[in-house]
Chains A and B, each alone.
Chain A
């Protein structure tokens, strides 16, 4: 997990919850319980969270505090979940959101 800060010069060793598995588009990924889903995805190198309904343009993390809704995804079957403020739980199924669906546009 190269995108994680192991030790910070001011904040010290970053405290995390228990390591858990969850899935992203069916693939198994590891993250830490309680951290935002978006943080776990970012650490795993996932940049694109969704594609917009009309223009099919990619979106990812933008504000990281739950205001902008750019990072919404389908979590456990529920669309439009703000992943930057939703804590990660073991076994969560996180899927890329196409418009408001988890199916790619050509399959919709």
Chain B
């Protein structure tokens, strides 16, 4: 039986991070993963991540995946793929299914980083081909280059539902509706806004009545629900779709820990059955640690930090580093993790209705109900200012831990300050030069460059644009408002692309000046879809 200092189960963001840290401290580490490729779900994440520089903010998920794999290779980590861990027994005996055979390994410490599985909701027709998980949609489109469907209804308005809806549109699918039984949008307002302004209607307090079709999905009926989640008769709405996508939460895959005899608890705030563990992932079994979604559903960014914590803790457990070094490392990681767990969406705030920002500003009620900030609400946020000439309009209206915009501006026009969740404000230490770095660096695509009055009755608006085909200078079309409805005619005056923008193109459109503060998306005339 082969022995290792540390066996890690799961080669996702937390497992790889744990492996890198432990291997750097000199541990003999192996990582098992049941999949054909490492990286967990990171390679399906094509949006820019939130956070600050230390959290790899504004880097796209799949790029972070590549970076982790490089770091793991450099640190000398062995990753065994197509290897399903099927048992975790006494004295840290790990049983692994590889191909048709089963092998036994022995470890002195174990990190369980198995992540989470998707939840589903049941409705008549939910088993029909064409009803898929949001993860399946991401796997098909972002890993295999296959369209998950043509006309899609998304169920779930958490970050997964919002992000995947946007990704579906990026690869050419039509998202006909975004539906959630909850009365409020669950994910970040900025993610919702970028979906809403493309014209996707939001149906909160609605859920699926039935999926239609004999052999596969041909349509879907939704209806409004009351505060006890009962259907309200007469509120049914029908959509012709070929695909229904479910993004209704995740559950920790903690079975191995339970099997090993770790003390477990049922904690709905952490997503279900999770191990009882301290904040560094020490379970009730000495030398067995949990990291990432398996110990509580969060984001990939926090999973990577938890993984690093587990890695250094395992190193200290086996005596590769002393207590002093451990405390030093953990203090730093604590700071990084605390930074991510701030703001309105912090784990401690889960399920709470927050009505005011940290600054005391009323949260947009329209944002929570319909996915976009209404035109008469936007001016109350500090990033939205009016100024002669070109200037950034920062439509960031919720306290989330994210700050790349303040470093992006070479003229220091944008400030967040030391509190990472503060709403960005336009300070204009220098004059805006219209470089667009802020537009491209905003992971939430919430910054626009606006010249409210060009002097000839027109205004120009620069928007982040991540679709194909890329409109050209001179392309005529319409400007859409925050709600995705046509507000006026528009013409593209420039499209800028640069390596530093990382695939976010800056599209500048000209509109009549009275629409400077309402036009927020561009649609080519001939490609306009009737709604």
* A interface list, Cβ under 8 A from B: 3-5, 7-11, 14, 16, 35-36, 39, 42-43, 47-49, 57-67, 70, 84-85, 87
Please name the residue on chain A nearest to B144 by beta carbon: A39
Given A62-B132, A63-B133, A87-B36: A5 and B466 interface contact (C-beta under 8 Å):
no
**Among candidates B127, B170, B216, residue contacting A8 with C-beta atoms closer than 8 Å:** B170
Query: On chain B, which size bracket covers the interface?
Result: 35 or more
Binds A, one of B135-143, B410-418, B437-445: B135-143
A21 to B117, CA, bound (A): 34
Q: With an 8 A cutoff between CB atoms, is B38 at the interface?
A: no
Complex Cα distance A25/B135, Å? 28
C-alpha gap A6/B484 in the complex (Å): 27
Q: Is B147 close to A, CB under 8 A?
A: yes
B145 touches A8 (CB 8 A): yes
CA distance A16 to B143 in the complex (A): 10
Q: B117 — which chain A residues lie within 8 A by C-beta?
A: 67
- The yes or no answer to B60 lying at the interface (CB within 8 A) is yes
| Interface pair A66/B140, CB less than 8 Å apart | no
Q: Are B129 and A59 in contact (CB under 8 A)?
A: yes
- A59 and B468 contact, CB distance less than 8 A: no
Q: Are B147 and A5 in contact (CB under 8 A)?
A: yes
Q: Is the interface of B mostly helix, strand, loop or mixed?
A: loop
Inter-subunit contact B170/A10 (CB<8 Å): yes
Which of A5, A63, A67 makes the CB contact (< 8 A) with B145?
Answer: A5
**Docked pose: A70 CA to B136 CA in angstroms:** 12
Q: For A48, list chain B residues within 8 Å (CB).
A: 129, 215-216
Please, how many angstroms separate the alpha-carbon atoms of A5 and B138 in the complex? 13
Which residues of B in the span 107-160 have a Cβ within 8 Å of any Cβ on A? 117-118, 127-133, 135-136, 139-142, 144-147
Known: A5-B147, A85-B36. Is A64-B171 also a contact (CB below 8 A)? no
CB distance from A48 to the nearest CB of B (A): 5
Q: Is the Cβ of A60 less than 8 Å from the Cβ of B146?
A: no
With A9-B466, A11-B142, A47-B215 as given contacts, are A64 and B132 in contact (CB-CB < 8 Å)? yes
Interface centre among A14, A47, A58, A62 (most CB of B within 10 A): A62
A14 to B147, CA, bound (A): 12
Question: Is the Cβ of B147 less than 8 Å from the Cβ of A58?
Answer: no
- Contact check, B140 vs A39: say whether CB atoms are below 8 A apart: yes
Is B129 in contact with A49, judged by CB distance below 8 angstroms? Answer: yes
- Pairs across A and B, CB under 8 Å, 16 listed: A3-B147, A5-B145, A7-B468, A10-B60, A36-B144, A47-B129, A48-B216, A58-B215, A59-B127, A60-B216, A61-B132, A61-B140, A62-B133, A62-B136, A63-B136, A65-B136
A66-B216 contact given A49-B129, A60-B130, CB 8 Å threshold: no
Q: Are B139 and A35 in contact (CB under 8 A)?
A: no
Given A9-B466, A9-B503, A85-B36, also A35-B144 (CB < 8 A)? yes
Q: Which residue of A lies closest to B170 (CB)?
A: A9
Question: Which among A5, A9, A63, A85 is the interface contact of B118 at CB below 8 angstroms?
Answer: A63
Does chain A have a CB within 8 A of B224?
A: no
Partner of A62, one of B36, B131, B466: B131
**Complex alpha-carbon distance, A42 and B35, angstroms:** 21
Residue interface mask B211-223, A partner, CB < 8 A = 1: 0001110000000
A4 contacts B146, CB within 8 Å?
yes
A66 and B34 contact, Cβ closer than 8 Å, known pairs A9-B466, A9-B467, A60-B129: yes
B46 within 8 A of A: yes
Question: Is B430 close to A, CB under 8 A?
Answer: no
Instruction: Report whether A5 and B136 are in contact in the complex, using a CB–CB cutoff of 8 Å.
Output: no
Task: Contacts A11-B142, A60-B128 known; list 19 others, CB within 8 Å.
Answer: A3-B147, A5-B171, A8-B141, A8-B142, A9-B467, A10-B60, A10-B466, A16-B145, A39-B144, A48-B215, A58-B214, A60-B130, A62-B133, A63-B132, A64-B133, A65-B136, A65-B139, A66-B35, A67-B117
Within 8 A of A (CB), among B457-490: 466-468, 470
List CB contacts (< 8 Å) of B194-241 with chain A.
214-216
When distances are taken between beta carbons in the complex, the residues of chain A under 8 Å from B268 are none
Q: How far is the CA of A35 from the CA of B77 in the complex (A)?
A: 27
B467 touches A42 (CB 8 A): no
One of A39, A47, A59, A65 near B146 (C-beta < 8 A): A39
A58 near B129: Cβ-Cβ < 8 Å:
yes
Indicate whether A58 sits within 8 Å of B128 (C-beta atoms), given known contacts A8-B468, A39-B144.
yes
Bound: A42/B136 CA distance, A: 12
On chain A, the residues within 8 Å of B35 by CB distance are: 65-66, 85
Determine whether the beta carbon of A64 is less than 8 Å from that of B215. Answer: no
Please tell me if B172 contacts chain A, counting CB pairs below 8 Å: yes
Q: B145 to chain A: which residues have CB within 8 Å?
A: 4-5, 8, 11, 14, 16
A9 to B69 CA separation, bound complex (whole angstroms): 24
Given contacts A5-B147, A47-B216, A58-B215, contact A64 B468 (CB under 8 A): no
Contact with A along B83-126 (1 / 0, CB 8 A): 00000000000000000000000000000000001100000000
Question: How far, in whole Å, are A60 and B216 apart by their CA atoms in the complex?
Answer: 8
A64 nearest CB neighbor, chain B only: B136
Interface centre among B60, B145, B172, B216, by most A CB within 10 Å? B145
What is the CA–CA distance of A82 and B62 in the complex, to the nearest angstrom?
25
